[in-house]
Copies of this chain bind each other. A is one copy, B any other.
């Protein structure tokens, strides 16, 4: 499986599209806003270019969240420049995701976004471009970017760890690191994550101007040997279908998603050993799987919440699943997911961890 070919959120704007099911990611953007604001403020105070400020959002995906981040960043630049009583620079914004991402939908929404910017009295030029490619490698010319942002992308690693592909069946019955996975599975995933995250840091360090900054939000875990990820529960449902003979056992045993939830300690150590960045600020958010759904509408019953949660997960992971299991099984799988997920949450305390890192380039 070439991850770059199949790793993308559900495109378009239908019922199971990512665009219509990215409430949780939107909530995360809001939790992170104070940290983002502080980073932008410092960027403006210490290192505002006279001419053009270049920003990139890595793993932008396609939907209402894509331009929400850009909008937040622009607001904060505007506020800070007002405070500092200086004219804001022009902006060049790069939206990055893998080449399979649905950029067309984002681009079509740009004219109305530019109109809104004008209404909000942002009068400097703002040029929004799309940059297709993997952030596990270089994307921009040397020292050309002032600020990087990435939300909910870096837990997707560049490939399924090699050992899990060659030694098929190593992670029997699971699709990610799970309670029943042997330690070797954790090691395989951890090594791939370390390799990828180091390449990410090195690439961004080359692309950032001196004193450039970045804010990264990553799905993390408290104990990465047992992340209690929502994908572990999805794997249980696939296993149910294996037990009922709907999916071949081997088919599940050979499927692993390229996904790793690091701990804060792992991240801090990687940042320190790579050496390009300081970490002046970081934070951990812990939330119930369905907390953003409850926050958006506190009147929703259990069934409705389970339905939304199921479609959210489906919008994120369906292209990966289809590439391996085929399209026909998806309705059944997510119906099972929806039916059982909140019962599961009552039995086990199911929470997701978001780790936010605010980084500054060292030199």
Measured between alpha carbons, how far is A110 from B132 in the docked complex, in Å? Answer: 8
Q: B127 to A129, Cβ gap below 8 A?
A: no
* CB neighbours of A140 from chain B (8 A): 92, 127
* Per-position binary interface string of chain A over residues 120-154, scored 1 when its CB falls under 8 Å from any chain B CB and 0 otherwise: 00000101111111000011111110000000000
Known A99-B111, A100-B108; contact A90-B141, beta-carbon cutoff 8 A:
yes
Question: CA separation between A132 and B127, bound complex, in Å?
Answer: 9
9 A-B pairs whose Cβ atoms sit less than 8 Å apart in the complex? A90-B141, A92-B141, A100-B108, A103-B130, A110-B132, A125-B141, A127-B140, A127-B141, A130-B132
Q: How far is the CA of A280 from the CA of B99 in the complex (A)?
A: 39
Query: For A144, what are the chain B residues with a Cβ–Cβ distance below 8 Å?
Result: 52, 92
B108 touches A51 (CB 8 A): no
Q: How many A residues face the partner with a CB closer than 8 A?
A: 31
Does A104 have its Cβ within 8 Å of any Cβ on chain B?
Answer: yes
Say yes or no: A142-B99 contact (C-beta < 8 A), given A131-B127, A132-B107.
no
Rounded to whole Å, the gap between the CB of A138 and the closest CB of chain B is 6
- Contact (Cβ within 8 A) A4 B104: no
A52 lies within 8 A of B141 (CB):
yes
Q: What number of copies of this chain does the assembly contain?
A: 2
Which residues of chain A from 73 to 119 have any CB-CB distance to chain B below 8 Å in the complex?
A: 90, 92, 94, 99-104, 107-108, 110-111
Shortest Cβ distance from A332 into chain B, in angstroms? Answer: 30
Complex interface: chain B residues within 8 A of A110 (CB): 99, 132-133
What is the distance, in angstroms, from A28's C-beta to the closest C-beta of chain B? 26
User: Bound complex: CA of A161 vs CA of B100, how far in Å?
Assistant: 38
Hey, which chain B residues are within 8 Å of A128, CB to CB? 132
Chain B residues with CB below 8 A from A103, complex form? 103-104, 107, 130
Smallest beta-carbon distance A172→chain B, Å: 33
* A138 and B125 within 8 A (CB): yes
Q: Say yes or no: A138-B127 contact (C-beta < 8 A), given A104-B103, A111-B4, A144-B52.
A: yes
Chain B residues, CB < 8 A from A51: 141-143
Given A4-B111, A99-B111, A103-B107, verify A94-B141 contact (CB < 8 Å): no
Give the residue of B52, B108, B131 whose beta carbon is less than 8 angstroms from that of A142: B52
The answer for the CA separation of A131 and B143 in the assembled complex, in Å, is 20
Are A130 and B107 in contact, CB atoms less than 8 angstroms apart? yes
Assuming the contacts A108-B100, A141-B52, A141-B125, asked whether A130 and B130 have C-beta atoms less than 8 A apart, the reply is: yes
Q: How far is the CA of A108 from the CA of B143 in the complex (A)?
A: 27
B-contact 0/1 string along A220-245, CB 8 Å cutoff: 00000000000000000000000000
A104 contacts which chain B residues (CB < 8 A)?
102-104
Contacts of A102 in B (CB 8 A): 104
